[in-house]
């Protein structure tokens, strides 16, 4: 079973938060605020926070900027993962992935079934890695952000989590680029 090994050091990571929305401002962005609060409570650093319009080009441009920024280890977005015409976050994320972390979306939907039942099929939450940066896209509700963070990301971004975690893999994410 999962556990925290208190004999290991906690290694904070730098996390950028992106809210994807045509209507939100920082004042009324409850989902972005939920993520920021949880990230900071866990001991990580919020490296940046932005609101981006529901547009593939805008989302991918922001993702690429953070992927190229050595001060960003992880990007977590909220919003735009549904099935309506303006929901394009998964398309933007897939456009930049080197590798998809399929289990992230699968686990998010598995957790959601207990809370929202079959409505979870409407979520296209996704995760992956690009140029050594982890990327995770969550739905736009504060509840979905709490579920994604509290049930998955809080643990996988804790270097003490056992039997394994994503932080311990960070030094190896670019090993295929070494010549």
Tens digits of per-residue pLDDT, 24-49?
Answer: 888 999 999 999 999 999 999 999 99
The number of helices, as runs of H, and strands, as runs of E, in the chain is 6, 8
- Helix axes 89-96 and 56-67, enclosed angle (nearest 10): 40
Domains and CATH numbers, the chain: 10-170 (3.40.980.10)
Please report which helix (H) or strand (E) contains residue 66, including its range.
Answer: helix 56-67
The pLDDT value recorded for residue 113 is 93
Residue 51: beta bridge partners?
19
pLDDT for the residue 174: 86
Residue 88: its pLDDT value, please? 97
Which tens digits make up the pLDDT trace of 69-109?
A: 999 999 999 999 999 999 999 999 999 999 999 999 999 99
Distance CA 139, CA 124 (A): 8
The predicted model gives 113-126 an average pLDDT of 93
DSSP string over 24-40:
--GGG-HHHHHHHHHHH
Q: Does pLDDT of 140 surpass 80? A: yes
* Mean of pLDDT values over 133-155: 97
State percent of the chain over pLDDT 70. Answer: 98
Res 1: pLDDT:
62
How crowded is residue 111: how many other Cβ atoms within 10 Å of its Cβ? 18
CB 63 within 8 A of CB 131: no
pLDDT of residue 142: 95
Phi–psi pair at 100, nearest 5 degrees: -90, 140
Sheet containing strand 14-20, strands side by side: 45-52, 14-20, 74-78, 133-138, 126-130, 99-100
pTM over 0.85: yes
Mean pLDDT along residues 168-177: 88
Round the average pLDDT of the chain to a whole number and report it. 95
């Amino acid at each position: 079973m999962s556990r925290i090994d208190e004999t290991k050091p906690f290694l904070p990571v730098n996390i950028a938060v992106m809210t994807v929305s045509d209507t939100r401002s920082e004042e009324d962005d409850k989902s972005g605020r939920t993520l920021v609060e949880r990230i900071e409570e866990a001991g990580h650093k919020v490296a940046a926070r932005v609101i981006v319009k529901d547009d593939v080009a805008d989302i991918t441009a922001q993702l690429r900027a953070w992927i190229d920024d050595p001060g960003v280890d992880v990007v977590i977005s909220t919003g735009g993962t549904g099935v309506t015409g303006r929901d394009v976050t998964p398309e933007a994320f897939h456009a930049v992935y080197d590798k998809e972390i399929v289990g992230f979306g699968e686990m998010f939907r598995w957790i959601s079934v207990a809370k929202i039942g079959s409505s979870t099929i409407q979520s296209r939450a996704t995760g992956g890695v690009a140029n050594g940066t982890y990327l995770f896209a969550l739905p736009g509700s504060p509840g979905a952000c709490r579920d994604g963070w509290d049930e998955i990301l809080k643990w996988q971004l804790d270097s003490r989590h056992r039997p394994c975690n994503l932080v311990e893999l960070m030094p190896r994410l670019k090993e295929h680029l070494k010549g």
